[in-house]
Amino acid sequence: MKTTPSIIHFVQKLLIFTVAIQLIGCKSTSGIDFNNIKVSDAEATNSTKLLYHNIQKISKEGIAFGHQDATAYGIGWKHEEKPNRLRSDIKFVAGELPAVHGYDIGHIELGKSHNLDTVSFDLMRDHIQKLYDKGAIITMSWHLDNPVSNGSSWDQTPAVPAILEGGAEREKYELWVQRLSSFLNSLKDKKGRVIPVVFRPYHEMNGSWFWWGGNNVSPEDYKQLWKETQQLLKQNNVHSLLYAYSPNIVGSEEEFQKYYPGDEFVDILGVDIYNYGGNEAFSKNIKSNLEIVRKKANMADKPFALTETGNTNFGEDPNWWTKTFYPGLKDSGAAWVLLWRNARPSHYFATYPGEISEEDFKEFAKLEEILFLDEVEDITN
Ligand code: BMA
């Protein structure tokens, strides 16, 4: 038959074409093989895997600077007053936006329009979209209410067993995670893809100030809560998260490990450290704790970060950044640091115009190792 060779030829070409398309499908234009990037959610989107890849890349170049609620408000201003601009205390002082932007989604579970610190979720979404578009990394903590007492995160009524599978408040918890899921899936980039987020739930669990930590929970229940929450999010079609585990300052590797749900459920390791014990101890603590976290992270081949920090001695130390903070941080290998929020003059953790450490912050910001938004964008693009 005359037609046979051309049919075979056609089928061969079709096969080659199909294979090629499949190969292109798992690689980005920059040649990243997404099949080789493994994160805790096996169904994580490519954007999520790319975020993971970028975080690892950043950690080899320096330490990205982050700030909680950076563009939502600062000392003496609120975004709503000039809604057309993306302002930030850090930008006012150093001329650059932070590379990492932290948000708290506490009260999303209640179906409220604003979080526990009066940041509207619509504003949050809008800023996340704008900042992600500029190359920022988004991270979220969750100061959720106590599901048993309906008090705040700081209400220590034991509640974890009640929201685990089969518990008395399980239905309520599923609804709460449902609301959280809807918000996360509503964060869309310019191409309509869901924006990936570093999710840091149930943080500082080795302290007893939250209902999910310390004396208020057993390590086994904590781990179970972590896994079940992850499961619920996945069931709700949330595949845009990297999961970060971050205890408060630890005294040993064992303490770091105590509530750790396991390598397969965590993507990023972290620790929260403030200078409540004075600056000298703080410098040393950052160094020793990041060393512990680094060791664990290296063993598990995961990135790590100083997931919350800040100067709690408001207005006292003009050289805090270069003389206290940086010496502890230097060469730590952390991917980022997140300074806590600038709420008011008696509750701020970074700096702002007119603040006592303003000039020192400018010096800190000039350090090669410390990366702001534009620098991070250069690394990841
Ligand atoms: C705490 C304080 C609180 C705030 C909470 C959640 O550390 O800053 O004022 O409500 O974080 O952001």
* Residue 100 pLDDT exceeds 80: yes
Reduced 3-state DSSP string for 64-112: EEEEECCCCEECCEEHHHCCCCCCCHHHHHHCCCCCEEEEECCCHHHCC
19's tokens: 């294979």
Averaged pLDDT of the chain: 94
Report which DSSP code applies to 369. Answer: T
Q: What mean pLDDT do residues 157-172 have?
A: 98
Element (H, E) at 160: helix 160-163
Q: What mean pLDDT do residues 246-271 have?
A: 98
- The number of the ligand 1 atom at minimal distance from the alpha carbon of 347 is 8
> From ligand 1's centre to the CA of 126, what distance in Å?
21
Closest CA to 53 of 300, 230, 303, 234: 303
* Residue 71 pLDDT exceeds 90: yes
Query: What is the CB neighbour count within 10 angstroms for residue 36?
Result: 10
> From ligand 1's centre to the CA of 374, what distance in Å?
28
| Res. 21 pLDDT band, cuts 50 70 90 | very low
* Residue 26 pLDDT exceeds 50: no
Element (H, E) at 272: strand 268-274
Rounded distance, CA 207 to CA 197, Å?
Answer: 25
- The number of the ligand 1 atom at minimal distance from the alpha carbon of 117 is 10
pLDDT of amino acid 31: 85
Burial of 236 (0-12, 13-18, 19+ CB in 10 A): middle
Rounded distance, CA 262 to CA 268, Å?
Answer: 11
Closest CA to 55 of 256, 196, 250: 196
Rounded distance, CA 306 to CA 309, Å?
Answer: 7
Q: What mean pLDDT do residues 125-144 have?
A: 98
Rounded distance, CA 41 to CA 18, Å?
Answer: 27
- List residues bridging with 268 in a β-sheet: 244
* pLDDT tens digits, one per residue of 358-371: 999 999 999 999 99
Q: What mean pLDDT do residues 94-119 have?
A: 98
236's tokens: 């709700």
Q: Which of 341, 342, 347 to mutate to test the pocket of ligand 1 (most atoms within 8 A of CB)?
A: 341
User: Burial code of 326-353, b = ≥16 C-beta within 10 A, e = fewer?
Assistant: bebbeebbbbbbbbbbbbeeeebbbbbe
* Residue 36 pLDDT exceeds 60: yes
Rounded distance, CA 258 to CA 219, Å?
Answer: 7
* Residue 69 pLDDT exceeds 60: yes
Q: Which long-range contacts (CB under 8 A, 24 or more apart) does 2-8 make?
A: none
- The number of the ligand 1 atom at minimal distance from the alpha carbon of 69 is 12
Q: Which of 116, 210, 342 to mutate to test the pocket of ligand 1 (most atoms within 8 A of CB)?
A: 116
The residue nearest atom 3 of ligand 1, judged by CA position, is 117
The residue nearest atom 10 of ligand 1, judged by CA position, is 117
- The number of the ligand 1 atom at minimal distance from the alpha carbon of 106 is 6
> From ligand 1's centre to the CA of 27, what distance in Å?
40
> From ligand 1's centre to the CA of 360, what distance in Å?
25
The residue nearest atom 4 of ligand 1, judged by CA position, is 117
- The number of the ligand 1 atom at minimal distance from the alpha carbon of 68 is 12
| Res. 89 pLDDT band, cuts 50 70 90 | very high
Q: What mean pLDDT do residues 223-245 have?
A: 99
Rounded distance, CA 35 to CA 37, Å?
Answer: 6
- Pocket around ligand 1 at a 6 A CB cut-off: 104, 116-117, 143, 340-341, 343
> From ligand 1's centre to the CA of 116, what distance in Å?
8
Q: What mean pLDDT do residues 267-278 have?
A: 97
Q: Comparing 3-17, 189-203, 205-219, 283-297, which segment has the lowest mean pLDDT?
A: 3-17
| Res. 30 pLDDT band, cuts 50 70 90 | low
Report which DSSP code applies to 321. Answer: I
**Residue position matching structure tokens 């179970």:** 224
* pLDDT tens digits, one per residue of 308-356: 999 999 899 999 999 999 999 999 999 999 999 999 999 999 999 999 9
Q: What mean pLDDT do residues 210-230 have?
A: 98
Domains and CATH numbers, the chain: 43-380 (3.20.20.80)
> From ligand 1's centre to the CA of 31, what distance in Å?
41
Please answer whether residues 68 and 338 qualify as being in contact, where contact means their C-beta atoms are separated by less than 8 angstroms. yes
Rounded distance, CA 214 to CA 259, Å?
Answer: 10
Please answer whether residues 361 and 94 qualify as being in contact, where contact means their C-beta atoms are separated by less than 8 angstroms. yes
> From ligand 1's centre to the CA of 343, what distance in Å?
9
Question: In sequence order, which residues have a C-beta less than 8 Å from that of residue 84 and are 6 or more positions away?
Answer: none
Q: What is the pTM of this model?
A: 0.93
Question: In sequence order, which residues have a C-beta less than 8 Å from that of residue 336 and are 6 or more positions away?
Answer: 55, 58, 63, 64, 65, 66, 99, 100, 137, 305, 306
Please answer whether residues 273 and 282 qualify as being in contact, where contact means their C-beta atoms are separated by less than 8 angstroms. yes
The residue nearest atom 8 of ligand 1, judged by CA position, is 341
